[in-house]
Amino acid sequence: MAEITFREALNQAMAEEMQRDENVYLMGEEVGYYNGAYKVSQGLMEKFGASRVIDTPIAELGFAGVGIGSAMVGLRPIIEMMTFNFSILALDQIINNAAKLRYMSGGQFKIPIVFRGPGGSAHMLAAQHSQCLDPWFCNVPGLIVMTPSTPYDGKGMLKTAIRDDNPVIFIESESMYGFKGEVPEEEYLIPIGVGDIKRGGSDITLVAWNKMVHVAMEAAAILEKEDIEAEVIDPRTLKPLDEQMIVTSVEKTNRCVVIEEGWPYAGVGAEIAARISALAFDSLDAPILRVSSEDLPMPYAHNLEKEVLPSVDKVVRAAKKVLYI
């Protein structure tokens, strides 16, 4: 398998799907002539032309609506949000139209649209450009929410998202675009709602997604030096959630820490903890702990940003607390 970057894996997914299906197109700010703000769409305009790789004005509400309308009549748009912070401006279209029209039309309309781009924090982007909005979209019936953590997952999940007939929120991470990983040369798909065990273990379950998977993996490596075997679980799709994979792991380890970049109040981590409590309560030997960002706007200063975000040290300390060490 070739080792490629996360951005290259996403680029391959879009190129392959555009080649396979002429109804697939990409639209967003700077996706064409500039090759994307983070170069995820590098070379796509040159290959497919300006009619299928469409640069837009800075008007998220407008081009989200255009994309939804085109999906209703048979096209399969990929709408790039330069950052998911900007999707806030398009929430009326995403929530009231993309998420609801298939249901409200009694299935007469399919809405095969993917909204993709980076979410969460990067490096010193301050409060308005560092928000993890996963829980917002998970709260909306009709939306699928996917968030990959590796190049392999990114490519296989994005190809699946593009082929699905429902609206998909596909949240990447700006700080992961340069991460490298092995990706098969042959075609593969990763099903919606199927998670992955990133690391096996028997003593404690660490549930994490997006770039928090890498924080959890580092924490697991530190815990291993103290003879603690942590199992790292990546849901990959946040909605629908692979709850059986999580429950099975907790039933084996009897302890759990959930790690998320989002805010603590009403977060995805709270939902996962609630489901574990409902489905595997008798297997728990300790309370479920959650490691999240602090409940405040993101500071600009790098030292303060690090204090706000989940860290390897915070995860290790939470794990030891659950293990009564």
Which residues are tagged catalytic? Answer: 60, 129
- DSSP assignments along 167-221, one per residue: -EEEEE-GGGTT-EEEE-SS-----TT--EEEE--SSEEEEE-TTHHHHHHHHHH
Number of residues assigned to the chain: 325
> Which stretches within the chain are classed as H helix?
6-20, 44-48, 60-72, 91-93, 101-104, 134-138, 151-163, 212-224, 243-253, 268-280, 302-308, 312-322
Q: How far is CA 200 from CA 36, 79, 225, 230, in A?
A: 37, 36, 15, 7
Distance between CA atoms of residues 73 and 274, nearest Å: 39
Residue 27, classed as helix, strand or coil, is strand
Q: Please list, in sequence order, all residues whose beta carbon lies within 8 angstroms of the beta carbon of residue 190, skipping any fewer than 6 positions away.
A: 153, 156, 157, 160, 236
Residue 259, classed as helix, strand or coil, is strand
Virtual torsion, Cα 109, 136, 270, 282, nearest 10 deg: 0
